[in-house]
């Protein structure tokens, strides 16, 4: 555990002791790294676990599935009794739930209280019926739960936060707050700003610092990724930019994903069209030593039949090959090109990324709690941010979230 800091070690020890835990803390504190360490440990101890997240983009980043897909609950809108009937009729999902020792749910902030309680009831009912009737009275059917995420970031689309659920209280969750900022370790001023902004606060001094970022200049070959609060403009901007490159005569190529049997539908989402000279972002941790990590920015210099050559923000040239996502305990896979067009991204999709060059509109378009903080914390330092506009009223924290963390810190 030499590679872990003190709080990360506490999280690992809690898992080894069979505790239900929440691993939380600011963006960039190594939550994803801690998950990776824990899953390796679970493998070593022959524990059967589910690696899931609340959104498709988040599940892809950790090499797992959405919680809805993993448990076979669809959108989760149906009656619990109907969902249970469907699961019982599906041998693969049914057996999975029976065997589960540990269930990991990443980006827990986006799981609302209603679905949270449904998941617990479904697991308790099925495991109580098929394993031991005593499990019917235990939250999540006695499965050890590992929740990961920051409630100060993106909130549930509907409903209340899951920590307001009665099931949350009954689950006796140990809460570990990771505090050491890894992503922004080289910028002390930025660290201080993020710590204040995360709490929904914004001082005049912070506004002054952010206003100066309107003049940020990037190298000629890098256009910063624009982060938007909604998806409305994202696809439009990316498609327009690609078409402009094609009109100028730049070569374009489609990279289709290759998958194991049974993942054909999922693989379609991994197919991507790329164009020479396009601004892109790497979507996997390929080689940390070379700076090829999730969020690394670059420009496409050449499109090979099964590889892509890019130039990063530091003018280093890299060859990017197909990347293999291992799924379902190494029983299936999807091979794909780990790149996406990055003229624009939604704040939602950027969650979990570290982006080298980012352009932010922190003005009146920010509409939800945590969006400003989530967007800002994608960057490594202040020099990698360009601000279009900034409004003090855009720095928001949900009062329930504020109380949640205040209560933890007061204990």
Tens of pLDDT, residue by residue over 250-286, are 999 999 999 888 778 878 888 999 999 999 988 887 8
273: CB partners within 8 A, 6+ apart: 242, 252, 253, 254, 255
Residue with tokens 């697991």: 123
What pLDDT, on a 0 to 100 scale, did the predictor assign at position 30?
Answer: 84
User: What's the pLDDT score for residue 387?
Assistant: 93
Sign of CA dihedral 190, 196, 200, 201: negative
What does each C-alpha distance from 297 to 69, 129, 226, 282, 411 come to in angstroms? 31, 50, 12, 7, 42
pTM assigned to the model:
0.77
CB atoms inside a 10 Å sphere around CB 2: 4
For residue 155, give both structure tokens: 């909130």
The answer to whether the CB of 44 falls within 8 A of the CB of 82 is no
Beta-carbon contacts of residue 92 (< 8 Å; ≥ 6 apart):
none
Q: What is the dihedral of CA 280, 374, 63, 237, to 10 degrees?
A: -30
pLDDT (0 to 100) of residue 411: 60
Q: Tens-of-pLDDT digits for all 411 residues of the chain?
A: 668 889 999 999 999 999 999 999 887 788 888 999 999 999 999 999 999 999 876 776 777 888 998 999 988 888 999 999 999 999 999 999 999 999 999 999 999 999 999 999 999 999 999 999 999 999 999 999 999 999 998 888 888 999 999 999 999 999 999 988 777 777 889 989 998 999 888 999 999 999 999 989 887 677 888 888 777 778 888 889 999 999 999 999 999 999 888 778 878 888 999 999 999 988 887 886 787 877 788 899 999 999 999 998 778 899 999 998 877 656 788 899 999 898 888 888 787 778 888 999 888 777 778 889 989 988 889 999 999 889 888 888 999 999 999 988 766
Pick the CATH number of 6-177 from 1.10.357.10, 3.60.21.10, 3.40.1080.20, 3.40.50.300: 3.40.50.300
The domain segmentation of the chain, as residue ranges, is: 6-177, 188-394
Say how many C-beta atoms besides its own lie within 10 A of residue 345's C-beta: 27
């Amino acid at each position: 555990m030499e590679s872990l800091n003190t709080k990360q070690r506490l999280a690992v020890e809690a898992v080894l002791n069979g505790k239900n835990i929440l691993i939380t803390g600011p963006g960039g504190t190594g939550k994803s790294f801690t998950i990776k360490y824990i899953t390796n440990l679970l493998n070593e101890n022959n524990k059967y676990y589910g690696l899931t997240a609340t959104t498709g983009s988040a599940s892809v980043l950790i090499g797992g599935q959405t919680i809805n897909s993993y448990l076979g609950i669809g959108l989760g809108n149906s009656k619990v009794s109907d969902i249970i009937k469907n699961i019982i009729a599906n041998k693969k999902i049914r057996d999975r739930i029976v065997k589960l020792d540990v269930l990991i749910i990443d980006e827990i902030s986006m799981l609302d209280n209603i679905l949270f309680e449904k998941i617990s009831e479904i697991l308790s009912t099925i495991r109580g019926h098929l394993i031991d009737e005593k499990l019917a009275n235990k939250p999540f059917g006695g499965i050890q739960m590992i929740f990961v995420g920051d409630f100060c970031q993106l909130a549930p689309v509907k409903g209340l936060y899951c920590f307001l659920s009665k099931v949350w209280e009954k689950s006796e969750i140990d809460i570990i707050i990771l505090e050491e900022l890894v992503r922004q370790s080289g910028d002390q001023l930025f660290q201080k700003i993020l710590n204040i902004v995360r709490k929904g606060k914004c001082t005049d001094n912070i506004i002054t610092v952010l206003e100066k970022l309107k003049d940020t200049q990037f190298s000629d070959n890098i256009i910063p990724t624009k982060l938007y609060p909604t998806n409305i403009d994202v696809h439009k901007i990316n498609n327009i930019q690609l078409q402009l490159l094609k009109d100028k005569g730049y070569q374009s190529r489609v990279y289709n994903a290759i998958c194991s049997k049974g993942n054909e539908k999922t693989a379609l989402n991994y197919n991507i069209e790329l164009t020479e000279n396009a601004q892109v972002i790497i979507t996997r941790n390929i080689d940390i030593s070379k700076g090829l990590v999730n969020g690394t920015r670059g420009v496409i210099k050449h499109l090979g039949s099964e590889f892509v050559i890019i130039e990063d923000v530091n003018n280093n040239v890299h060859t990017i090959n197909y990347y293999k996502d291992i799924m379902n305990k190494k029983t299936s896979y999807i091979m794909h090109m780990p790149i996406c067009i990055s003229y624009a991204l939604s704040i939602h999709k950027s969650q979990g990324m570290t982006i080298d060059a980012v352009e932010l509109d922190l003005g009146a378009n920010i509409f939800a709690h945590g969006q400003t903080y989530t967007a800002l914390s994608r960057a490594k330092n202040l020099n990698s941010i360009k601000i279009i506009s900034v409004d003090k009223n855009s720095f928001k924290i949900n009062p329930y979230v504020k109380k949640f963390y205040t209560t933890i810190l007061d204990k």
